[in-house]
Amino acid sequence: MGKQVVIVGAGAGGASVAAEAKRTDPSLSIVLIEQRSQVSVAACPMPYYIGDAIGDEKKLIARTPEKFRETGIDVRIDTRVEEVDPNRGRVRLADGATIPYDTLVLGTGTKPLLPGIPGEDREGVFTLKSLADAVRIKAWLKEIPCRKAIIVGAGFIGMEMCEALRNLGIEIQVFHRGTLPVNRWDREFSQAVLDEIRGHGVEFITEAAIQAIEEGNDHRLKLVTNHGDAEADMILMAVGVRPEVALAQQMEIELGESGAIRVDFSQRTLREGVYAVGDCCESFHRVSGRWVNIPLGDIANKQGRVAGRNIGGGSMVFPGIVGAQSFKIFSLEVAATGLDEREAARSGFLPISTLIWGNAIAGPMPENTKLGLKLIADRTTGKLLGAQAVGKAGAVSRINTLSCALWAGLTLDDIGWFDLAYAPPVGPAWDPIHIAAQKLRKEM
């Protein structure tokens, strides 16, 4: 019998470990443990499931427990790991049973942040982290029926849920502690996001301090804030997540500066025989040279494959990330990659930036749309450090191109003369990438 691998957490990272390790070495005995009822869930599409763009929740499940079991992987759902004894090589489950391991993988993901206010545990108050959360929200919307929803927070999930709920005809209020949504982006681009949601009837309340959730009139919920009280049929808490590292801390596994589990390029932790993958661990940022925690499903999948290959006896490294990310809000694409000015300065660079508004396609073409593009570079070397884009078309494709430039360590001189595919319906002869790179180079 082969060595026994125990994987704690069957999200994108853990499920990928199981599949790749078994492919690499079929003799491995693999136990995949998940405290929820589903494994291998695609979390990013959940707002689109709630908003009825995706009709069947089964489409969010990449692989069922039965499919894993067909390959010889022992899947335990609705099972919680309470403790790990790394000295004896065993995990203890909530029911008291123990499972031995030769290799342990932590894929424990993140947990949603809550503001810690009275009433946040009331019925009708939700977070959106798991498929079970999405199913509960969708059931609640149909049961009430919901006329108005409050969203606390203005990050990715908050914005995507604005669109999902508004498309269902639900009135939306967003309460945000800052002045603009998605503050990862330049203020001019965040303002474009704000204009987009307000143009679709979303009320956005700034500099909001939420104080309590109480029972309102007609069994509704009442959010108590520094701007007064607001009532709704449901409240979504979307104020962020943090790495779930309780088991790692209990095992005295070292955490990185980000608060996530420290790993090497093979996804090994500093404790022998223990790996970590996905949202609970760090990734190497190829631009800053620092280890960071960016909880995204594509990163988790890649890390899972690397860990699985190595556990199975192969050899593979995860070469890192450049921080590419995007979301869509109504008709607006919003994307970024690399570092912003603050991150660049903290990483030892001398950042310089430029922001332009250009054409997503050739100017004379009908239905041409504006595209905003910002580039950040190092003043000393001309090396590209980051980029941001906003527009009704073409924002994500430009950021993908610039992510490749970051991956390769290119300079503004390189980028300003990129050979890009040109045709009037898809882009201008001088692309906004060319224009922004050449403009910033002249300003150095």
In tens, the pLDDT along 42-52 reads 888 999 999 99
Answer yes or no: is 328 within a domain.
no
Catalytic residue (choose from 44, 280, 281, 404): 44
In tens, the pLDDT along 160-179 reads 999 999 999 999 999 999 99
Tally of domains within the chain: 3
In 3-state terms, what secondary structure has residue 273? coil
Answer yes or no: is 206 within a domain.
yes
In tens, the pLDDT along 120-176 reads 999 999 999 999 999 999 999 999 889 999 999 999 999 999 999 999 999 999 999
Answer yes or no: is 322 within a domain.
no
Domain end marker among 206, 237, 268: 237
Q: Is the pLDDT of residue 281 over 80?
A: yes
What backbone phi and psi angles, to 5 degrees, belong to 161?
Answer: -75, -25
Using the structure block, give the residue that is written with the tokens 């890390």.
Answer: 303
Q: Is the pLDDT of residue 398 over 80?
A: yes
> In this structure, are 183 and 248 located in the same domain?
no
> In this structure, are 103 and 246 located in the same domain?
yes
Domain end marker among 207, 237, 267: 237
> In this structure, are 131 and 230 located in the same domain?
yes
Rounded mean pLDDT of 99-124? 96
Q: What burial class does residue 335 get, using C-beta atoms within 10 Å of its C-beta: 0-12 exposed, 13-18 middle, 19+ buried? A: buried
> In this structure, are 9 and 98 located in the same domain?
yes
Using a pLDDT cut of 70, give the percent of the chain over it.
100
In tens, the pLDDT along 293-330 reads 999 999 999 999 999 999 999 999 999 999 999 999 99
In tens, the pLDDT along 168-216 reads 999 999 999 999 999 999 999 999 999 999 999 999 999 999 999 999 9
**What local confidence, expressed as pLDDT, does residue 340 receive?**
97
**What local confidence, expressed as pLDDT, does residue 372 receive?**
98
Using a pLDDT cut of 90, give the percent of the chain over it.
90
* 281 belongs to the catalytic site: no
Rounded mean pLDDT of 388-412? 97
Q: Which two tokens stand for residue 385?
A: 């450090």
Q: Write the single-letter amino acid at 84.
A: V
**What local confidence, expressed as pLDDT, does residue 393 receive?**
93
**What local confidence, expressed as pLDDT, does residue 90 receive?**
97
In 3-state terms, what secondary structure has residue 186? coil
Answer yes or no: is 319 within a domain.
no
Domain end marker among 311, 346, 361: 311
Angle separating helix axes 12-24 and 297-311, nearest 10 degrees: 30
Mean pLDDT of the chain: 95
> In this structure, are 204 and 230 located in the same domain?
yes
> In this structure, are 218 and 250 located in the same domain?
no
State the CATH number of the domain containing residue 175.
3.50.50.60
Say if CB 260 and CB 278 are below 8 A apart.
Answer: no
Q: Which two tokens stand for residue 333?
A: 């694409």
Answer yes or no: is 320 within a domain.
no
E strands present in 203-252 = 203-205, 210-215, 221-225, 228-232, 234-237, 241-243
> In this structure, are 340 and 425 located in the same domain?
yes
Using the structure block, give the residue that is written with the tokens 């932790």.
Answer: 269
Rounded mean pLDDT of 349-363? 93
> In this structure, are 378 and 398 located in the same domain?
yes
pTM of the predicted protein model: 0.94
Answer yes or no: is 187 within a domain.
yes
> In this structure, are 98 and 164 located in the same domain?
no
State the CATH number of the domain containing residue 370.
3.30.390.30
C-alpha of 401 from chain center: 20
Answer yes or no: is 324 within a domain.
no
Q: Is the pLDDT of residue 439 over 70?
A: yes
Q: What domain range is 210 assigned to? A: 125-237
> In this structure, are 372 and 395 located in the same domain?
yes
**What local confidence, expressed as pLDDT, does residue 1 receive?**
56
Answer yes or no: is 400 within a domain.
yes
> In this structure, are 359 and 410 located in the same domain?
yes
> In this structure, are 228 and 250 located in the same domain?
no
Rounded mean pLDDT of 95-99? 96
